Each structure stands twice: as structure tokens, then as C-alpha cells.
Amino acid sequence: MLKIGAKIDEVRVDGDLTKLAQDLQYLANLGLEAVELPVHGLDAIKNGRLDQRRLKEIQKILADYPLVYSIHAPNPLNLMSQEALSLHVAVFQASLEFAAAVGAPVLVYHAGRFIPEETFPVCAGSNLSAAQELELLSQERRVLAELATAFPQVTICLENARPYLYHSPYSYAERPELLRQQIEAIQQPNVRINLDFGHLYLAAHHYGFNVVSATVILAPLVAHCHVHDNFGRPVYHHEKQQTHQLPFGRGDSHLPVGWGEIPIAEILAQLLPAYQNLLIMELRSRYFHQTAESFRNLQTILAQLHGGRS
């Protein structure tokens, strides 16, 4: 059944479990039915290992709320790592252990990057050959297949990537058709797509494809959604300050639903009614207190689509 939820922002919580409980209570009071938890924002993983004492503290808090949970893996997690693959695999496994322990059916993972974002300030671009890129794609497929087999109760959802000026293409997942190809090549029923509406809209503007047509390409494999808004203008990687970007409609803004220009209704129309999983509003922490407005706007869109249920 379709459920609307919101993500707990890792920057806002920043390891403070008291803050976690407060935000869960606030979101539950709004009438939301689901929450996405950032395992990295809860300090649940340390040096590639799940902290069992911390896990128990979190489980105790989560049990107080009648919510469905999904989990977001640490953003730098990259199964295309060329320097520390074993550590990235350990972090991935710990994230899956966390998801299973809290009963979360979905773990979101930012799809593999040929050029990790953390290296952008010190590299001019990819110097990989086509053969090397194919090898990294194969590496990611192999590891994901192994992890998916080990944790059949959790659906691993690869998130489509946002583009950056200058450094793109840094990830195959900026292009919908390449993301679908990678998922299909893995051939695991619990490896699917997290469709990030904001990233898709930015990529459509950057690469010149149609956002609705792209949704049609991805729809059969979509098992989770991040819903937020923006104006479709990518930025350079170093542009972080929202107060500078918003006046010009630039960046991956993670605005409340209805504040930007993404054709959210048209995207949802390609998913519904077949899609009956979670719609997670992934707002920046600066918009936390506009979650209620975003929720109302999303409910209105669903009602207009005849058959959307919140």
C-alpha cells in the first residue's frame, strides 16, 4: 500500500538520539506513515562495523512509533571503490545488518561512482579507460549480487545520481538507461531502483532527455522513491550554500513538494497505480518545519491522480 513518509536528515540529527526521538514524534504527529533513517546520521556504524549497543538504543526509540522505516546508507559508500573496496563492503554489510535489525524492508544506496565526489577537489575528471569502467561496473554487480543473496529480506535500492557541472559524467546512474542496464545485469529480485525525482529532473536538464520518458524507462524497476523539488539547474560540486543558490533556482535544493518546477504529478502518473511502496519526502533540514506543507501538497497531487492513497 502506498505510504507517504519523510527522511530524518543526518545533518539535523548529527548522532543525537534525543533529536531523533523528537523528530520522529513530530513526523508521526503530522500523520506520516513512514520515515527514512540515515544510518550514518545515527552513529550506528563505526569503522565498518555495526555498533550493537548503539543499535539497541535506536531500536528502543523506534519501537515507540507506529512507523514503517527505510534506511539510507552512508552517502560516500561506493562499490566502485578502487582503494578501499573491502572497507566499503564492510560498511554496506553493516548497513544491511542495521536495516534487518530494525525491520526496514529497503536500504537506499547511491549507485557507484567512477569518480567519487570526495575526490572532486583534487581531480580534473576521469582518467579511466572504457575497459576500466566496465571492470568497475562488473565489480559493483558482483558485490551487490553477493550482498543481496545474503540479505534477501532487504531490497537494495540504487539511487539515480544527480549531475554536476564540470565533473559529470562521474556516475553511470546519471543516465536512466544505464542504471536500468546495471540493475538488470545483477539479476537479483531484491536489487531495484530508488527513483529520486530531484536528481532525475536535474539530469534531464543537464543531458537533454525528457523526465517523463525517463520515468517510463525506470518504472518497472522502481521499488522506492525520494520526492522533493527543484528548478532543474545543476551546480558545481563546491556550491553548497543554499542561500546563494536558491535565488537563482540552482542546485539539488531538496525543496518541499510544490516549491519548484518538477512535474511531480506527471512522474507519479507513470508509476501509479502499479507502484504501492513508500514515497519519502527527502527535504533539506532547513525545510523541516515545512514538512507539513509538503505533505499536503503531495496528498493533493495524489488525489488528483485518481486512486493515489496516502
Percent of residues in the chain assigned helix, strand, coil, to nearest 5: 45, 15, 35
- Each residue's pLDDT tens digit, 130-173: 999 999 999 999 999 999 999 999 999 999 999 999 999 999 99
- Each residue's pLDDT tens digit, 16-40: 999 999 999 999 999 999 999 999 9
pLDDT of residue 307: 60
Give the domain range for residue 101: 3-304
198 inside domain:
yes
Based on the number of CB atoms within 10 Å of its own CB, is 154 exposed (0-12), middle (13-18) or buried (19 or more)?
Answer: buried
- Each residue's pLDDT tens digit, 57-70: 999 999 999 999 99
End-to-end CA distance of the chain: 9
309 inside domain:
no
310 inside domain:
no
**Strand pairing category for 34-38 and 3-7:** parallel
pTM score, two decimals?
A: 0.96
Our count of domains for the chain comes to 1
Taking all residues of the chain, what is their mean pLDDT, rounded to a whole number? 96
187 inside domain:
yes
Q: Which three cell numbers stand for residue 44?
A: 550506528
60 inside domain:
yes
Q: How confident is the model at residue 190 (pLDDT cuts 50, 70, 90)?
A: very high
16 inside domain:
yes
- Each residue's pLDDT tens digit, 251-269: 999 999 999 999 999 999 9
Question: Where residue 109 sits, what CATH number does that domain have?
Answer: 3.20.20.150
CA distance 116 to 122: 11
211 inside domain:
yes
Q: Which three cell numbers stand for residue 226?
A: 525520494
243 inside domain:
yes
Q: Which helix (H) or strand (E) holds 279?
A: strand 278-281
Cβ 126 vs Cβ 113: under 8 Å: no
Q: What percent of the chain has pLDDT over 70?
A: 99
